[in-house]
Structure 1
Amino acid sequence: MKIFISDLVLLGQDPVSNVRVLKENGFNDIEIMMDGAFWDNSQEERFELVQELKKFEVNYTVHPPAWDINLTSETKYIRDASFQAYADAIEFAGWLGASHVVIHPGFTFAPEFDKKVAIKHAKESIIELCELANHANVKLAIENVGYNGTSILTIEEYVEFLKEVPEEAGYLIDVGHAQLNGWDIASVIRQTSSRLIALHLHDNDGQGDLHLPIGKGVIEWEVIFHELRDLNLEISYILEYGQNTSLEYLKTGQERLKNELSWKLI
C-alpha cells in the first residue's frame, strides 16, 4: 500500500522536529517511535503534541517504546507497566489517526524463564489491548521480536499466535529479526498473509540487529520481493533504518521498493 519511514533514524530528537525533517525530505508516510525523554509528558501535553503532528498532513503509524518494556516479564510490575505503555500508545494513535500500533509480544531473557508461560501472558495482554484498539479505531501489528534465545515464539508458534486473537490484531514481520532467528522469511510472509499488516524492512550481518539499509547485509532480498510480487498483498512497507543512517539511504530504499513492487503501491 504505502512505504513508511520509521523515525528511528532520528531517535532521541523531538518528534515534531523528526517529522518536519522527514517531510522536508519528501517522506509523507511516517512511523513514530515513542522512545526517549520527549515522551515523558502528561496526557494533556501528548494531546497537544498530536495537534502539532497533524499539521504536517502525513500518514502515521505508531511504535510504542521498544526498550525497557516487556509484556511477558517474569515480574508482574513490569508486565503491568508495559501494558499501560501500550494502552497509552493506542490512545495516542487513535488521536493521531494512525493506521496501526506496533506490539512486541515480549521477550525471555534467561533460559530458566518458561516460554509457554510467556506466550500465555502475551496473548492475554494482546486480547485486552484489542478492545482498546477497537475503540481507538486502530489495528495492532504483532511483531516478531527477540533473537539469540530471547524470542518467545518459534516460526511455527508465531504463525499460529493470532488464531484465538480478535481481528483488531494482525502480523507485522520484522525481516531483520526473522533473519537473525534463521526463519524462512518468504515462507512466514506467505503463511501469515491473510492477516499481514506490515513489514519492517532493514538488513543485518546475520549476527546483530544492526538495522542496516536494504542490501547492506546478508538478507536475500530478491527472494522476499519475488514472494511479495506473487502474493500481491495490500500491506505497508516500513523502512526501519538505524539511528543516524543517512536519509539518502532511505530515499534509495524507497526507490528500490517502488521499482520492485511498483504495481502494488499507491
Structure 2
Amino acid sequence: MNDLKRMGLAVTLPELERSADWLKAGARDVELQDICEPHVMDGDWRAVARRSAELLGDHGGRVGVHAPFWNIAIAAFDSQIRAVVQSRLNLGLDYLEAVGGTHMVIHSPFYFFGHGLVAHQDTVEAEIALAHLTIEPLVSRAADLGCILVIENILDINPAPLLALVDSFGSPHVRLSIDVGHAHITAGRGAPPAAHWLSQGASLLGHVHLQDNDGTADAHLAPGGGTVHWGSVLRELHSSGTDPRLIVEVIPGEVERAMAWIDRLEEV
C-alpha cells in the first residue's frame, strides 16, 4: 500500500527557492525540470544544478529530473536525428548525476496514436525497435547511476503501445510514467480515464505526474482546479504496490495551491 506521504512537486529553480523547506520537511519526492529548457542546456546548467542541490541539502527524499523534451523524438527514423536526441537525453543524465537524482522522465514516442491520419497499429513493433536504438545506451548508463528511466504518456490514446514499450526493455531501470492530466485530456478523445491507465499499468508503474485541467487543454492546474476525478485516481495510487514517485506538476502560479492540496491529503 502506498500512503501518498512522499507526494511532492515538479519545480524549476525559482519554484524550488519557494518550496525547498516544505519539500525537505516531508522528505517529499522532487522533480527538477530546469534541464528541459534549451537555454539551460546550452548555458551554465552546472550552476543551476549546484544551486538546486544546495537548496535541497539534507532533503533525504527521492530526487529526479525531467529530461529534455522539446523536439525530442525517441523513435526517430533518421539516424542523425536519433544521435541528437541521444545527446540531449545524455545531458539530462549528466544533470541527474550532478543533483543526485534517481529518476528521469522521457516522453512517449507514440504521438497521435489512434488518430485516423497515423495508423500506428501496424507500426508499433518498428517504433519500439527504433526507440531501443535511442534508449538502450541510456538504460545502461541509468543502471550505473542507480536511476530509472520513466516513459510518460503524452498524446497516447491507447495504453497498450506504451506498456509494450516499457515492458520490452525487460529492465527494472525502465518504468512507466503516467501523467494524470494527459490521460484526462485523451479520455475525451476515446481513451480510458486516468484511473484506468493507473490500473492497467500498475505492475510497471514507477512515476506519476499529478495535474488537473478541464479536459480540453494541458493546463497543469493544482488538483481540484479542473475536472479530473481525484477520488478514483487517489484510490488507485493508494493501492499501488510499486511505490511510484508522486510528482504534482503545475504551472508556477499554482505551486502554493498544489502544496496546500497535498497538505490537506495528509489531514484526511
Compute the TM-score of the two structures, normalised by the length of structure 2: 0.79
Indicate the residue corresponding to 2:165 in structure 1. Answer: 161
Measured after TM superposition, the shift of residue 195 of structure 1 is 2.5
Measured after TM superposition, the shift of residue 73 of structure 1 is 3.5
The AA in structure 1 aligned to 2:52 is L
- Of 119-128 and 211-220, more deviation after overlay is shown by 119-128
Q: Distance in 1 between matches of 2:201 and 2:102?
A: 19
The AA in structure 1 aligned to 2:23 is F
Indicate the residue corresponding to 1:123 in structure 2. Answer: 132
Q: Indicate whether 1:3 and 2:7 are aligned.
A: yes
In angstroms, what is the RMSD of aligned CA positions? 2.5
Q: Distance in 1 between matches of 2:127 and 2:242?
A: 31
Residue number among 84, 91, 95 corresponding to 2:94 in the alignment: 91
Residue number among 40, 52, 63 corresponding to 1:38 in the alignment: 40
Measured after TM superposition, the shift of residue 212 of structure 1 is 1.5
Measured after TM superposition, the shift of residue 240 of structure 1 is 0.4
Q: Deviations over 1:112-168 (max 9, x none)?
A: 58553433322332233211101222111111112xxxx4x7212222222221221
- Of 96-105 and 76-85, more deviation after overlay is shown by 76-85
Q: Indicate whether 1:229 and 2:229 are aligned.
A: no
Contact between 1:130 and 1:168, CA under 8 Å: does it hold in 2? Answer: yes
Residue number among 207, 220, 225 corresponding to 2:229 in the alignment: 220
- Secondary structure of 2:178's match? strand
Q: Indicate whether 1:208 and 2:245 are aligned.
A: no
Q: Distance in 2 between matches of 1:224 and 1:145?
A: 18
Contiguous gaps of at least 5 residues in structure 1 = 261-266
Indicate the residue corresponding to 1:172 in structure 2. Answer: 177
Q: Distance in 1 between matches of 2:118 and 2:183?
A: 23
Measured after TM superposition, the shift of residue 225 of structure 1 is 1.4
Q: Distance in 1 between matches of 2:105 and 2:263?
A: 24
Q: Deviations over 1:3-43 (max 9, x none)?
A: 22111xx5xxxx3x44222215x2334311123323323xx
Q: Distance in 1 between matches of 2:209 and 2:95?
A: 21
Measured after TM superposition, the shift of residue 49 of structure 1 is 4.1
Indicate the residue corresponding to 1:263 in structure 2. Answer: none
Compared CA separation, residues 108 and 231, structure 1 to 2 (3 A): closer
Contact between 2:167 and 2:204, CA under 8 Å: does it hold in 1? Answer: no
Compared CA separation, residues 130 and 93, structure 1 to 2 (3 A): same
Compared CA separation, residues 257 and 75, structure 1 to 2 (3 A): farther
Q: Indicate whether 1:82 and 2:85 are aligned.
A: yes
Indicate the residue corresponding to 1:136 in structure 2. Answer: 145
Measured after TM superposition, the shift of residue 85 of structure 1 is 1.0
Q: Distance in 2 between matches of 1:122 and 1:163?
A: 13
- Secondary structure of 2:239's match? helix
Compared CA separation, residues 156 and 47, structure 1 to 2 (3 A): same
What are the within-5 Å matches in structure 2 for residues 192-203 of structure 1? 192-203=201-212
Identity in percent: 23
Contiguous gaps of at least 5 residues in structure 2 = none
Compared CA separation, residues 203 and 18, structure 1 to 2 (3 A): closer
Indicate the residue corresponding to 1:62 in structure 2. Answer: 65
- Of 30-39 and 84-93, more deviation after overlay is shown by 30-39
Contact between 2:206 and 2:242, CA under 8 Å: does it hold in 1? Answer: no
Q: Deviations over 1:81-108 (max 9, x none)?
A: 1221111111221232112000113254
Q: Distance in 2 between matches of 1:174 and 1:96?
A: 23
Contact between 1:101 and 1:138, CA under 8 Å: does it hold in 2? Answer: yes
